[in-house]
Chains A and B, each alone.
Chain A
Amino acid sequence: MNILVLLKQVPDTTEMQIDKETGTLIRTGVPTITNPDDLAGFEMALRIKDEKGAKVTCITMGPPQAKNMLRELYAMGADECILVSDPKFGGADTWATSNTLAAVINQLDYDLIIAGRQAIDGDTAQVGPQTAEKLGIPQITYVDGILEINDEKIRVKKALENSYEILECPLPCLITTLSTIATPRYMSVKGISHAFDKDIKVVTFNDIDIDPSIIGLKGSPTKVKKTFTKEAHKNSDVLELDPKTTARKIVETLIDFKFIGK
């Protein structure tokens, strides 16, 4: 079984600062991590490999420094890592990104594609589903458990707002995983020892068959007009009250702001 896992390197914080002049994220000095939903999906791929045997290929699209993440994935047990990287791919929105990823994946053999639900920097949850659409394969999003998998089909637990849905889907298909699906394993010492002996395949624009007008910043229909941090308009009220009055005041305030109903 061939499993492809789509992963993204993201800044290690949910409180990114924005450059007020350019409206872009300030990335310098912020450590990066592998996006948690993606890493949990990767762990599921490794568990399938451990139980049934599979080849796990990790794919990421990003700048050359994303190789650092791929070394860690090798150290955790990935069989192959592919970095999709070209200045022409830069600045892509989710649509252009999924066009690029689909073009790369079209050249590969796969039975299952696992992508994280969404990345903690952009929070769009679009790249996985769009990639499935462009590959013309079925997809199940918000997967929080794999109940069964064989060469023909997969049965999963999909998280809904207040419940779960059990769904079955023929392979090949794409699933997007929640970070709660599995706790990622540690790298192993031996894995690290050999992570640097392995090749990271770099796929550039010239390696894939794609219309240049649907990739990168130019091919992205999303145009960021302005990004800003919401200013705080009101100063906090500081009240000193006894516990009973404090509790009442908190409830009244929550009702006033419509955080809770009466």
Chain B
Amino acid sequence: MLNNGMNFDLNEKQTLMRKLFREFAEKEVKPLAAEIDEEERFPIENVRKMSELGMMGIPFESKYGGSDGDNLSYILAVEELSKVCATTGVILSAHTSLCCNPIYAYGTDEQKMKYLVPLAKGEKLGAFGLTEPNAGSDAAMQQTTAIKEGDYYKINGSKIFITNGGYADIYIIFAMTDKQKGTRGISAFIVEKDMDGFSIGKIEKKLGIHGSSTAELIFKDLYVPKENLLGQEGKGFGIAMSTLDGGRIGIAAQAVGIAQGALNETIKYVKERKQFGRPISAFQNTQFIIADLQTKIDAARLLVYRAAYLKDTNQSYTTEAAMAKLFAAEVAMETTTKAVQLHGGYGYTRDYPVERMFRDAKITEIYEGTSEIQRLVISNKLLK
């Protein structure tokens, strides 16, 4: 039997989810956004409040501490949060997509009960450590090693640019268990922050997402019990790549949120701001820019929702997630740039949120795979 064909509506549940996330973002998150940016402060209170509402484990079953929602609902949460505070958006995205998700997808039942349950309940915060000083886009160049010693793996090395680093309790860490095998020598581990040999190094000072903690992780004879190996030994690279496929939908949603948030602020501003005797919204230049931006944001959003839908329906989504992230990130950059321009001199000051949104947007073109890497992922599929 044929299905109903294309359907662009959220279902009733997702609609109610969006209503909750929008209300929460407006009332609880927005009032703090400028302050946490200015103070470069991790908004731990937002994490606590999100935990209370069950937002830290949206797409996981309640038997694993989750909220029995779907992936698209989680994406709606990242989007709504990022409209008002991109920092809070990425905290949720890194926690859910990069830490909870690989445990959910590759973990044993024991690992899920021990780690996913407190993560999804929001009692613990999660992070993901793949990037190293010499392994960025070339993630296969891992230098961190994990040597099996009895019932433990001894990990030595470091990770950089780790989102939620320092605040997270649980980390998914990638390390070489067999240097001879290249990508097939990489394994994934679940690491707890309190394990001996684990420490936090440099905290980055960044252009944007000031409230998000971006830290170096240092492992010095870090002994991880062998039952904390995630998936099979040597399968870590595949775990990292598939985890990032999902993460990209989250970052794409963050980009859509930033773009929509900036455009919403701009629409409000151009109606109020008067020059040459009229509100600047009366000028066709303004009207055309706004029309173009909303059109592009809608296109980006549809790409993001498509990728989330594919994930929810267990279809392959690697290429579509890359497309969504590539396009949404560029739309976020374009929208925030033009939002600042339409605000004129005021847009360059911290009196208006578009200044922050402009700084926040840039990272969406870089982390969880740069725009260039997304283009590689897409073209590899097309040209293979």
On whether the two chains bind one another, the answer is: yes
Number of cross-chain contacts by CB at 8 Å: 46
Question: How many residues of chain B get a CB closer than 8 Å to chain A's CBs?
Answer: 17
List of A residues within 8 angstroms of B24 by Cβ: 186
8 Å CB interface, A56-84 against B: 71-72, 75
Closest residue of chain A to B50 (Cβ to Cβ) is: A189
Chain A at the B interface: mostly helix, strand, loop or mixed?
Answer: helix
Q: C-beta contact mask, A183-199 vs B, less than 8 Å → 1, else 0?
A: 00011111111111000
List of B residues within 8 angstroms of A192 by Cβ: 13, 16-17, 20, 69
Instruction: Tell me the smallest distance from the CB of B303 to a CB of chain A, in Å.
Output: 24
Chain B at the A interface: mostly helix, strand, loop or mixed?
Answer: helix
Interface size on A, as a range, is: 10 to 19
List of A residues within 8 angstroms of B58 by Cβ: 189
Instruction: Tell me the smallest distance from the CB of A210 to a CB of chain B, in Å.
Output: 32
Complex CA distance for A194 and B62, rounded to whole angstroms = 11
Let me know if B62 and A189 touch, CB within 8 A: no
Let me know if B55 and A189 touch, CB within 8 A: yes
Complex CA distance for A196 and B15, rounded to whole angstroms = 12
Complex CA distance for A202 and B96, rounded to whole angstroms = 39
Let me know if A187 and B16 touch, CB within 8 A: yes
List of B residues within 8 angstroms of A191 by Cβ: 54
Instruction: Tell me the smallest distance from the CB of B12 to a CB of chain A, in Å.
Output: 6
Whether, in the assembled complex, B73 has its beta carbon less than 8 Å from a beta carbon of chain A, the answer is yes
Whether, in the assembled complex, B53 has its beta carbon less than 8 Å from a beta carbon of chain A, the answer is yes
Residues of A at under 8 Å CB distance from B? 71-72, 75, 186-196
Sampled A-B contacts (27; CB under 8 Å): A71-B12, A72-B16, A72-B19, A186-B20, A186-B24, A186-B53, A187-B16, A187-B19, A187-B53, A188-B54, A188-B67, A189-B17, A189-B20, A189-B54, A189-B58, A189-B69, A189-B73, A190-B54, A190-B67, A190-B69, A192-B17, A192-B69, A193-B13, A195-B13, A195-B16, A196-B12, A196-B13
Residues of B at under 8 Å CB distance from A? 12-13, 16-17, 19-20, 23-24, 53-55, 58, 62, 67-69, 73
Q: A188-B54, A189-B54, A192-B16 are known; give 13 further A-B pairs, CB within 8 A.
A: A72-B16, A72-B19, A75-B16, A186-B53, A187-B16, A187-B53, A188-B67, A189-B17, A189-B55, A189-B58, A189-B69, A192-B20, A192-B69
